[in-house]
Amino acid sequence: MDFELSEEHQMVERMVYDFARNEILPSIREHDRNGTFPHELLPKMAAQGFMGICLPAKYDGAGMDFISLGLLSEGLEWADSSVRETIAVHLGLHALPIFQWGTEEQKERFLPPLATGENIACFGLTEPGAGSDVAAMTSRARKEGDTYVVSGEKMWITLSDVADRFLVFAKTSQEEGTRGITAFLLERGWEGLTTGTIKGKMGVRASNTGWINMDGVPVPETHRLGEEGEGFKIAMSCLDNARYTVAAGAVGLMKYCLEASVSYARQRRTFGQAIGDHQLVKQLIAQMKQRVDLGELAVRKVGWLKNQGRRNTRETSMAKWYCTESAFATASDAVQVHGAYGYSDEYDVERHLRNSKSAVIYEGTSQIHQLMQADYVFGNRVDRPLRCEMPAYDPDYWQN
Amino acid sequence: MNIIALVKQTPDTAQLSASMDGLRLSAEGGPRIVNPWDEYTLETAIQAREEHGGKVTALCLGPPEAADALKTALAMGVDEAILVSDPAMADSDSLTSARILVAAIRKIGRFDLIVGGRAAIDGNTAATAVQVAALLGVPLISYVADIGSLDPEHRTISAVRLLEKARETVTSRLPALITVVKEINEPRYPSLIGIRKAARASIPVWGCNDLELDASTVGAGASGVDWKTELPTTREANVEMIDGGPEDAARTLVDRLMEEKVI
Ligand SMILES: Cc1cc2nc3c(=O)[nH]c(=O)nc-3n(C[C@H](O)[C@H](O)[C@H](O)COP(=O)(O)OP(=O)(O)OC[C@H]3O[C@@H](n4cnc5c(N)ncnc54)[C@H](O)[C@@H]3O)c2cc1C
């Protein structure tokens, strides 16, 4: 067992944190206040290779492993959840699924512009009436010759108004439950496809979240991802990637909150001493550190499982559930340590608190993760092999 | 073009801690970084190569840990990195360091341009690179804020120096040595692909033997300058609040000041 980050990982970590400190932090408060998307960051992130960090070099990716993906997510969310969300969605929920489920032709065609950031991509599963209950979706795809005609509405979609590529799910048959769902790759500009932005979000205000309306969008068969009826499995495997970035990001958020709280607790004085010398404040700090450490362990283990090519749905769900709940608690404690100042946007911890609430909702609510965990324990849920598994990370393949 | 970038590893002065031995790098000292000025050195060198082709060699004199700084240089995009390191070289002053660097530069061989930072953030002498130029007998352009033109064909460089109250444009023949200030560019971050390459790279280490230097001519013993670091002593201060109305308080204050022989 080796808990040490490799030299390469340490360099990635340092670079990502430097990037977050110098490129994201200086402007993110203003974007959050105004609810604007930091478009100016995308070319910089792309230039660093972030948009395809763990895609093989063959598809113009940076060829790094899944631990690096975790470190990237952590460092970005240390600055702001919104920026990490872009990676979660673009890479975790769109590009990696194409890598896992796509035909070679689809990979060669779709992945390079995603890896270089020339295309920005999103993932549309949720609908106004179907969130946790995916099977309740009403989007439909009707086959006409070698084209599908897709209609329906997707809601709460990250990057909906920024993306030019859309992975959406619709029912191709009226079969019961989730079996009739199929995945499609849509492109901006296609007839019948419109998008919009949701206003008034509590947090992740520097992220773009919105809706996708599909009114009889013709989708060529070449843009179907996987087989007909395979959509639900694909969607769930997408979540295995993105939940990992969410969990890793939550660790970054916690690290920021801990650092900010420690520095504030050293300098703020009450009753003749630094507040960090009061036992009850120490307790808050100790609990934050506990969550950081345990969260990091959970995330690193999932990264390792992914590198090994081992199924990690349960462990990823556990890491996501634990880390996002811990991040919410930690951000709340950080605001507490900062007192009234923490309650204002003069300090970053209140933004982290608002942001952290989103992650206990998306990518499976905490309740859904608890149900999953219990089902695994009782043996009611067993992961069966998939037709297309995410391969183990092999540097020779990834980097050549 | 053959470009040599002089890179030093320094403590992270943003994170100096009491556990550090002044500004020196000590084994258990704080985090070490690429001398912040040398990030501009590296960017300058890499940009010159991108424009004119050729090769950038990063050269660093320091303890074995300084290889980390060279890894960063490789990840940013230099082609080769060489660490000059030998226990005998420890605590060399700037002139001795310059002699060692010159021996290494001669071993590297042909060069058209040497780039250094305006100073290293630890010693802050701004003397090493200057002495390297003098010992090599090449022109020096210091405090460069802009390279107006670099012409490998006609073997000239024209650079703008940032002086206290002026800017001076200097043209020189190549090879030359320039030291750069932070106005010159915006250093890039190491890229992921660069990091991958850097992590795999093995960095040659040149010691006294490789450079044919007699150990007695380097290090603290051979240096004329003896560095002593003194951190500011912490002062004991007391605060005494004087109660009472303005007149009483003023009277008490005057009494106390006279008592303490302040007035
Ligand atoms: C900022 C943000 C970004 C998002 N980005 C995307 C995106 O990019 N793509 C996308 O497809 N979706 C996205 N979503 C949607 C998100 O995935 C859903 O909101 C989430 O799945 C929950 O669905 P819901 O909101 O419909 O809540 P519901 O499913 O209606 O749940 C409401 C409440 O009931 C609970 N609940 C539901 N079912 C059960 C049960 N069986 N047992 C116990 N409790 C239950 C839930 O835990 C929750 O507390 C995003 C959401 C947010 C807030």
Q: Does residue A354 carry a pLDDT above 60?
A: yes
A chain contacts of residue B195, beta-carbon cutoff 8 Å: 8, 11-12, 15
Share of chain A above pLDDT 70, in %: 100
Whether residue A157 is found in the same domain as residue A245: no
Domain of residue A64, residue span = 7-120
How much is the average pLDDT of A298-303? 98
Give A202's pLDDT tier (boundaries 50, 70, 90). very high
Query: Quick one: pLDDT at residue A331?
Result: 98
Q: Helix %, strand %, coil % for chain B, to 5? A: 35, 25, 40
Whether residue A239 is found in the same domain as residue A355: yes
Query: Quick one: pLDDT at residue B24?
Result: 53
Q: Please give the helix or strand (H or E) that residue B149 lies within, else none.
A: strand B140-151
How much is the average pLDDT of B225-229? 72
Residue A60 phi/psi, 5-degree rounding, is 70, 15
Give B94's pLDDT tier (boundaries 50, 70, 90). very high
Query: Quick one: pLDDT at residue B28?
Result: 52
Whether residue A219 is found in the same domain as residue A200: yes
**Distance, CA of B240 to chain centre:** 46
How many whole angstroms separate alpha carbon B3 and alpha carbon B182?
A: 19
Please tell me the class of the B2-222 domain: alpha beta
Out of A210, A231, A252, a domain closes at: A231
A6 contacts B189? CB cut-off 8 A: no
- Cis ω before B175 (30° cut-off from 0): yes
How many whole angstroms separate alpha carbon B186 and alpha carbon B168?
A: 21
- In ligand 1, the atom with minimum distance to the C-alpha of A365 is 47
Whether residue A115 is found in the same domain as residue A135: no
Out of A231, A254, A271, a domain closes at: A231
What is the per-residue pLDDT across B156-169, written as a single tens digit (0 to 9) for each? 999 999 999 999 99
HSE-up (13 A, CA, CB side) for residue A140: 9
How much is the average pLDDT of B190-213? 94
Q: Return the bridge partners of A170, or none.
A: A182
Q: Is B199 on the interface with A (CB under 8 A)?
A: yes
Domain positions in chain B are 2-222
ipTM of the complex: 0.83
B chain contacts of residue A6, beta-carbon cutoff 8 Å: 199
Query: Quick one: pLDDT at residue B25?
Result: 47
Query: Quick one: pLDDT at residue B29?
Result: 60
Alpha helices by DSSP H, listed for chain A, are 7-19, 25-34, 41-48, 66-79, 81-87, 96-101, 104-115, 231-267, 279-308, 313-342, 349-359, 366-378, 395-398
What is the per-residue pLDDT across A250-260, written as a single tens digit (0 to 9) for each? 999 999 999 99
| A201 occurs within a structural domain | yes
| A153 occurs within a structural domain | yes
CATH number at residue A184: 2.40.110.10
| A164 occurs within a structural domain | yes
User: How far is the CA of A342 from the CAs of A264, A334, A347, A351, in angstroms?
Assistant: 10, 7, 6, 9
CATH number at residue A83: 1.10.540.10
Whether residue A127 is found in the same domain as residue A209: yes
A19 contacts B189? CB cut-off 8 A: yes
How much is the average pLDDT of B3-28? 69
Report how far ligand 1's centroid is from the alpha carbon of A352 (Å).
20
| A2 occurs within a structural domain | no
Residue of A361, A363, A371, A381 to test ligand 1 pocket, by largest number of atoms within 8 Å of CB: A361
Report how far ligand 1's centroid is from the alpha carbon of A362 (Å).
5
> Which of the 8 DSSP states describes residue A88?
I
Whether residue A326 is found in the same domain as residue A181: no
Whether residue A128 is found in the same domain as residue A222: yes
User: How far is the CA of B13 from the CAs of A260, A267, B38, B146, in angstroms?
Assistant: 20, 20, 14, 26
| A1 occurs within a structural domain | no
Two structure tokens written together for A329? 């608690």
How much is the average pLDDT of B34-59? 96
What is the per-residue pLDDT across A143-174, written as a single tens digit (0 to 9) for each? 999 999 999 999 999 999 999 999 999 999 98
Q: What is the pTM of this model?
A: 0.90
Whether residue A54 is found in the same domain as residue A80: yes
Q: Does residue B21 carry a pLDDT above 80?
A: no
Of A25-29, B123-127, B128-132, B256-260, where does mean pLDDT reach its minimum? Answer: B123-127
How many whole angstroms separate alpha carbon A259 and alpha carbon B57?
A: 38
Query: Quick one: pLDDT at residue B205?
Result: 98
How many whole angstroms separate alpha carbon A255 and alpha carbon A293?
A: 10
User: What is the average pLDDT score of chain B?
Assistant: 90
Query: Quick one: pLDDT at residue B27?
Result: 42
B chain contacts of residue A48, beta-carbon cutoff 8 Å: 189, 191-192
Residue with the nearest Cα to atom 37 of ligand 1?
Answer: A132
Total tally of structural domains belonging to chain A: 3
| Better-predicted residue by pLDDT, B200 or A393 | A393
| A28 occurs within a structural domain | yes
Long-range contacts of B228-231 (CB under 8 A, 24+ apart): B229/B21, B229/B22, B229/B23, B229/B24, B230/B22, B231/B22
Q: Which of A331, A357, A332 is nearest to A256 (CA)?
A: A331
- Report whether residue A370 contacts ligand 1, using a CB cutoff of 6 Å: no
How many whole angstroms separate alpha carbon A133 and alpha carbon A181?
A: 13
Given a contact cutoff of 8 angstroms between Cβ atoms, the answer to whether A84 and A16 are in contact is no
| A203 occurs within a structural domain | yes
Whether residue A151 is found in the same domain as residue A46: no
Checking DSSP bridges between strand A121-124 and strand A165-171, what pairing results, if any?
A: parallel
The residue written with tokens 């940076």 in the block is A62
Q: Does residue A381 carry a pLDDT above 50?
A: yes
Out of A216, A231, A246, a domain closes at: A231
Q: Please give the helix or strand (H or E) that residue A153 lies within, else none.
A: strand A147-158
User: What is the average pLDDT score of chain A?
Assistant: 97
Whether residue A186 is found in the same domain as residue A239: no
Query: Quick one: pLDDT at residue B89?
Result: 95
**Amino acid code (one letter) for A190:** W
Whether residue A70 is found in the same domain as residue A16: yes
Whether A230 is a known active-site residue: answer no
Whether residue A203 is found in the same domain as residue A248: no
| A23 occurs within a structural domain | yes
Give A83's pLDDT tier (boundaries 50, 70, 90). very high
- Chain A: closest CA distance from residue B76 (Å): 10
Question: Strand, helix or coil at A151?
Answer: strand
Q: Does residue B17 carry a pLDDT above 70?
A: no
Given a contact cutoff of 8 angstroms between Cβ atoms, the answer to whether A346 and A340 are in contact is no
For chain A positions 9-28, those within 8 Å of chain B (CB to CB) are 11-12, 15, 18-19
